[in-house]
Amino acid sequence: MPLSNGRPYLAIPGPSVLPDRILAAMQRPSPNIYAGALVDMVAGMWPDLRALAGTAGHVASYICNGHGAWEAVNSNLFSRGDKALVLATGVFGHGWASTARGLGVDVQVLEFGGTAAVDPAMVEQALRADPSIKAVLMTHVDTASSVKSDVQAVRAAMDAAGHSALLAVDCVASLGCDEIRMDAWGVDVMLGASQKGLMCPPGMAFVWFNDKARECCRRSGLRTPYWDWTLRADPQEFWQYWFGTAPTAHLYALRESLTMILHEEGLPQVWARHATLARSIWAAFDAWGQGHAGIRLNVPIAAQRGHSVTAAHLPAPDATRLRQWCETNAGVTLGIGLGMATPQDPHASGSLRVASMGHVNAHMTLGALAVMQAGLTALRIPHGAGALEAATSVIAAAAP
Ligand SMILES: *Cc1c(COP(=O)(O)O)cnc(C)c1O
């Protein structure tokens, strides 16, 4: 008997759950894009977007997904043949590397294996070996592996090497979920997108950059009129913000999102909520894995795990069986294992991801975990006991 009728829960790491009020905010007739309410509203959004990133720098917005934001950063930072050092902790680091390479950037990838954070000592060594690197590209939280790296530690390594490269950070998976402080952490360029922690549909992305990046990149040869961040960050006329028609419905969604995050819940509280929900997911997996080594989190060290997504392993093909059971029988859709294919498990049927990204609260995360518990039982997948007790204890301790 399927028990999936009722509100479905899409627990994949993007697109994330759309709050009803964000959906409602988008439901309106097309506004005037030359003057009036929309233009006034947009003027008030830039301070909020800066606060979200923790920067007093510039912000450029684009009508695109995260891949488009990579292209925006690549084209503004580099000339053909410039050198980039990519710090890869999963699929998304390699994705950024290949888009830069595709534009003719000379990309060196430092691979960190996909289960642990960037090692700053290796970054320092690579920089000392090559003074000509123009920028270091890193992923804050790699959504495939769920590895989180220490951005401040990378900046410290760059400073220790006395290297002048720019530091550019992909925060698509962490923005509005994990703590990010662009200026305080010494980040020169940062990128994010609408459909993850910002709780909006895919289709809008952001690039923040400081004066140093602006100055260094004034003559970048890969810059094209559409991706150029100069006018978008400092337009003479409204149409130049998006180099054409503004993304009208998305802007109403974004306004609602920024209000929810910054003016209602508050950024520190948003970060704390994601941290607690993630820890409850980790606690459940630790219990399921007791005496069953095949069930385990992808990232062994807790401090190196992102808070918006958790990658985990089960003996193949049980991760796929469990995902299908949860969706069919209980209305919970879990994330597939991304970049986890091996010769023994070519379809990554031993990996899955549980999102805790954006508009997610304790009942949603505990509900997803309880459904997974039911699925493990129904499918007779051997597992340790006490997962729900462990997960609920984390929630109870955070809200005594
Ligand atoms: C989702 C994501 C991207 C890519 O975003 P798309 O919108 O799918 O193009 C890039 N980097 C990270 C870290 C992501 O989580």
Give the domain ranges of the chain.
Answer: 9-16+267-398, 31-264
Q: Output the pLDDT for position 298.
A: 98
State which ligand 1 atom lies nearest to the alpha carbon of 140. Answer: 13
Q: Whose CA is nearest to atom 3 of ligand 1?
A: 66
Q: Output the pLDDT for position 237.
A: 96
Cα 156 to ligand 1 centre (Å): 26
Cα 236 to ligand 1 centre (Å): 30
Q: Ligand 1 pocket test: which of 16, 65, 308 has the largest number of ligand atoms within 8 Å of its C-beta?
A: 65
CA end-to-end span of the chain, whole Å? 37
Q: Output the pLDDT for position 240.
A: 97
Q: Which fold has domain 31-264?
A: Aspartate Aminotransferase; domain 2 (3.40.640)
Residues with CB under 6 A from ligand 1: 14, 65-67, 92, 139, 142-143, 170, 172-173, 193, 202
Cα 173 to ligand 1 centre (Å): 7
Strand partners, 335: 353
Q: Ligand 1 pocket test: which of 172, 180, 199 has the largest number of ligand atoms within 8 Å of its C-beta?
A: 172
Cβ atoms < 10 Å from Cβ of 300: 10
Q: Where are the alpha helices (DSSP H) in 191-303?
A: 211-216, 229-233, 248-258, 267-288
| 330 touches 178 (CB < 8 A) | no
Q: Whose CA is nearest to atom 8 of ligand 1?
A: 66
Cα 343 to ligand 1 centre (Å): 26
For every one of its 400 residues, what pLDDT tens digit does the chain have, with 9 covering 90 and above?
789 999 999 999 999 999 999 999 999 999 999 999 999 999 999 999 999 999 999 999 999 999 999 999 999 999 999 999 999 999 999 999 999 999 999 999 999 999 999 999 999 999 999 999 999 999 999 999 999 999 999 999 999 999 999 999 999 999 999 999 999 999 999 999 999 999 999 999 999 999 999 999 999 999 999 999 999 999 999 999 999 999 999 999 999 999 999 999 999 999 999 999 999 999 999 999 999 999 999 999 999 999 999 999 999 999 999 999 999 999 999 999 999 999 999 999 999 999 999 999 999 999 999 999 999 999 999 999 999 999 999 999 999 8
Q: What single letter denotes the amino acid at residue 286?
A: D
Of 363, 306, 371, the C-alpha closest to 333 is 371
Q: Which fold has domain 9-16+267-398?
A: Aspartate Aminotransferase, domain 1 (3.90.1150)
C-alpha dist (Å) from residue 362 to 172, 248, 333? 23, 32, 17
Question: Is 31-264 in the same CATH topology as 9-16+267-398?
Answer: no
**Cα(141)–Cα(148) distance, integer angstroms:** 4
Cα 382 to ligand 1 centre (Å): 34
Q: Ligand 1 pocket test: which of 62, 63, 67 has the largest number of ligand atoms within 8 Å of its C-beta?
A: 67
Q: Whose CA is nearest to atom 15 of ligand 1?
A: 173
Buried b (16+ CB within 10 A) or exposed e, 18-31: bbeebeebbeeeeb
State which ligand 1 atom lies nearest to the alpha carbon of 70. Answer: 10
What DSSP line would sit under 346-394, residue for residue? TT-TTEEEEE--BS--HHHHHHHHHHHHHHHHHTT----S-HHHHHHHH
Of 192, 148, 159, 166, the C-alpha closest to 54 is 192
Q: Output the pLDDT for position 384.
A: 98
State which ligand 1 atom lies nearest to the alpha carbon of 309. Answer: 15
Q: Whose CA is nearest to atom 12 of ligand 1?
A: 172
Cα 92 to ligand 1 centre (Å): 7
Cα 365 to ligand 1 centre (Å): 22
Q: Ligand 1 pocket test: which of 70, 73, 92, 189 has the largest number of ligand atoms within 8 Å of its C-beta?
A: 92
Q: Ligand 1 pocket test: which of 63, 118, 143, 309 has the largest number of ligand atoms within 8 Å of its C-beta?
A: 143
